[in-house]
């Protein structure tokens, strides 16, 4: 028995918005305690970028979950490759245009990438545990 993907997606949307809010509060705390040169001005845009990329990726992957397992694997791999290419492109374009902010941007990007990656994987695993019951 598979879950309704639209209700699962809405649950994921609620969880990721709460997660992003908590990460935002942490980022605000770090911004007030760290020197300004360590905080990239692109940080709010990075939150929007990762939120939208994670939502889009989760949507595609969860839609393929009700079908054959090989289709899910293919969707997961395609989404992962597209997201990585998009991420590398954003990093190169930003660092090419803003060399003075390179270190702060790279650290913020890596931290948010790891946070959203772990969040997405944990939610995908729980989605499949629930859908197999």
pLDDT for 36 equals 84
Contact 95, 102 (CB under 8 A): yes
Q: CA 110 to CA 8: how far, in whole Å?
A: 28
Domain of 46, in residue numbers: 5-131
**Domains: count for the chain:** 1
Report yes or no: 75 and 59 within 8 Å, Cβ to Cβ. Answer: no
Per run of 10 residues, the mean pLDDT along the chain (length 133 residues) is 67 95 94 88 95 94 80 90 96 93 93 95 82 60
CA dist 34 and 130 (Å) reads: 41
């Amino acid at each position: 028995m598979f879950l309704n993907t639209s209700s699962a997606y809405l649950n994921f949307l609620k969880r990721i918005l709460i997660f992003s809010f908590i990460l935002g509060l942490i980022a605000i705390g770090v911004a007030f305690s760290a020197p300004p040169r360590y905080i990239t001005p692109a940080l709010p845009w990075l939150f929007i970028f990762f939120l939208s990329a994670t939502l889009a990726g989760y949507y595609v992957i969860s839609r393929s979950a009700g079908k054959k397992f090989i289709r899910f694997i293919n969707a997961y791999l395609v989404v992962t490759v597209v997201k990585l290419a998009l991420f590398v492109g954003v990093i190169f374009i930003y660092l090419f245009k803003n060399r003075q902010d390179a270190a702060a941007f790279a650290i913020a990007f890596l931290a948010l990438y790891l946070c959203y990656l772990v969040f997405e994987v944990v939610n995908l695993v729980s989605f499949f545990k629930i859908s197999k019951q």
